[in-house]
Structure 1
Amino acid sequence: MLTITNIKRPGSNALETVTAENGVIKGWNLPPEGEVIDGQGGTVAPALIELHAHLREPGQTEKEDLASGLAAAAAGGYGTVVSMPNTSPVVDEPALVRALIEKAGGLGFARLKPAAALTKGQQGEQLAELAFLKEAGAAMFTDDGRTNENARVLRLGLEYARSLGMVVSVHAEDASLRADGVMHEGPVSEELGLPGNPAAAEAARVARDLEIVAQLCQHGGGARLHVQHLSTARALDLVREAKARGLPVTCEVCPHHLTLTDEALRSFDALYKVAPPLRTQADAEHLLAGLLDGTVDCLATDHAPHTRAEKERDLLEAPSGIAYIELAFPLMWTRFGERLGLEKLLDLMTQAPARVMGWHEPTLEPGAPADLVILDLDTEREVNPATFLSKAKFTPWAGETLRGWPTLTLVGGQVAYRRE
């Protein structure tokens, strides 16, 4: 039994009390029982849901592991995290899925729902044993970290996943158009003399994948396609058009594509190297408009930790990825809280990811799972990477002052994170 006092529900200034028992919300404003925690006037919400994080286990634990990654997620207010399968070895066997779930369950941090590879070894040539992977507990199928170049194999995977009631998520870039690009192709890349990754690489692949979905819809129903980390205006317009046609497609946008642009690469700092790359300010504004009009289904971080030594290589050699799961909500609240509003932002990071996956939408009602986060929406704190629980203790936003920091995260009614 655990009781949190002095908290406010979104949109209210009334101080209330919530009690959790046996992993669920027992009720509101009951006499305090069990451990009592002072919420200090914070705003309570369902714990955030992350559909796209790289936790690097197994085999890449110098970058991150389950303990550090799930602790960092809990510190960021996340109660559930879907991990990507591009590890060493690739998560394409049921035993690996079960092992990850078992290990994460004993850590006491955010809840893990591993994604499994769509194809064996993420090679894009032969489907993995999708039914057995689902039975083992895989949350979705994806070859993220690689692009699905073989359209026929992707079609077969979508058909198979449809029969299992599962989502297939895709990293939508045409590898031949992307080539060796290290940043967005445009005036900045030309000025810097760096190989560019054109917007057309994303748009062309999104167009192809949507046509595959349209074809499948003509033959027995929709295949649930989720497009990861959209970065360009054109690709978003393609998704908007597909939704208008009634196709079963969803998409996510990442905070780094909303808050950073290709101008950051003038520093030649590989900290800003991501895949897909940071685009233009016009693209960022278009993505934000997509959040506001509902074309973008949810926010995801694509939390992608690397070692400092890797990110200190030059732009041509450094790996792509930014790790910031601990500050995603404060970043979005500080930058866009006034335009999005609290209710919309929370939906994009809680109920909306659940809708994408077909899960029950989290609520604050009695009987709902006691996955909760307390947010300090007003106090400003400086971003200090040295305090990160992630192993990647560096960030593009170091030194910035943000509001909206989580102070407490409950997962199944147990404290997963508490700010000291």
Structure 2
Amino acid sequence: MTPESPLPKPRPAVFGRGSYAESLRIGEILRKETVGGALLVAAAVIALIWANSPASESYFALRDFKIGYEPWHLELSLGAWAADGLLAVFFFLVGLELKREFVAGDLRQISKSIVPVAAAVGGVVIPALIYAAVNLYSPETLRGWAIPTATDIAFAVAVLAIIGSHLPSALRIFLLTLAVVDDLIAISIIAVFYSDNIQPGPLLLALVPLAVYTFLAQKYRRFFGTKGAAAWFILFPLGAATWALVHASGIHATVAGVLLGFAIPVIRSKASGGPAAGPGLSEIFEHRFRPISAGVAVPIFAFFSAGVAVGGWEGLGAALADPVSIGIIFGLVLGKPIGILGITWLVTKLTRAELDRSLKWIDIFGVSLLAGIGFTVSLLVAELSFGQGSAHDDHAKVGILAASLLAAILASVVLGARNRQYRAVEAEESIDSDEDGIPDVYERDSSK
């Protein structure tokens, strides 16, 4: 190279750390989800033990006990209340998180969002295709093609906590983004493919409280100042009315949760050169609802949904031999890593990008295995596909549990083997030599 030769342009890096503020926010979310994941696993284990104990009839009687007001189409079993009502809280947070990522988070930049979004799409499409291939000649079971498409972030971070993984900030952000995006894809699939007998009347009526809710949410500072409690007490009844009307319309009620989450405004701090005037409604709601979702809503849903009477070793063998279970296991355990890792590799090649220097492809593989833990939303889609308590639904649950356990074990092996490297990255990310409150690596990254 001659002195006059220009320096080669550096190749763009993917899976960078992002901003320090984003890293702190993601870390806080995952700490809450870790507790929720432990409760989720505990609830599922209790349900399985109870459903296969001599007292199993009492479990199913509790799950099928109906309560509610029939004229409003709300006389539902406790299991249905958990699936339609409590999971709406979970999907409300999905809507909040997704909007925040693309409005105020690092993913508002196309260069940073393209890889995790494309990887999430690959992690949905490939498992669905694998399930469909296994069940191609069985129209009855083919309906469950969407079961292996979702990632359970709470279960996944619980696994990370158990193995003591010091997953770097870049991989934590990637994992959360994957989970949120494919949850959005899953709820879109539910809205389009798993909604029957649509009633236009209630659906049109739902637009009224939703519109009022959206208007008040967008203008809440003008009406309520910084008093989030006042906004909460006014917005909650409007949200509940929207949920009830969407439920009556025949569209799965969890769709209302996502729409309500999208309606909440997100404030970009320092948008005009100065700090935001206090927390926005998105931050207030996220702070209040995430503990309810992670600690109450999702574990209760898991308790009512994961209980399946296996019927001993013979019954377990029959369940695992069902093409439904086979498609789910292959879709989650093989399809997820193939789709996520394959699309990520393809995007980096097409964009001539390279991994951040602190990561290797084995790290992406480990996270893609972890994404094969498809528990909460997979259980929901299984019930919508085959009907709660049906033989195929029971077999699907066995497949989901088996696949999630296998994916957790494989991911633990891969990520656990890399823990020494992760500790070194974590140590580097904690150095703050100028003591300004921001680690040096984030300052260097932001100056590039």
Q: TM-score, normalised by structure 2?
A: 0.27
Q: Identify the structure with bigger relative contact order (alpha carbons < 8 Å, sequence gap 6+).
A: 2
Question: Greater strand share, 1 or 2?
Answer: 1
Quick check: which has more Rg, 1 or 2? Answer: 2
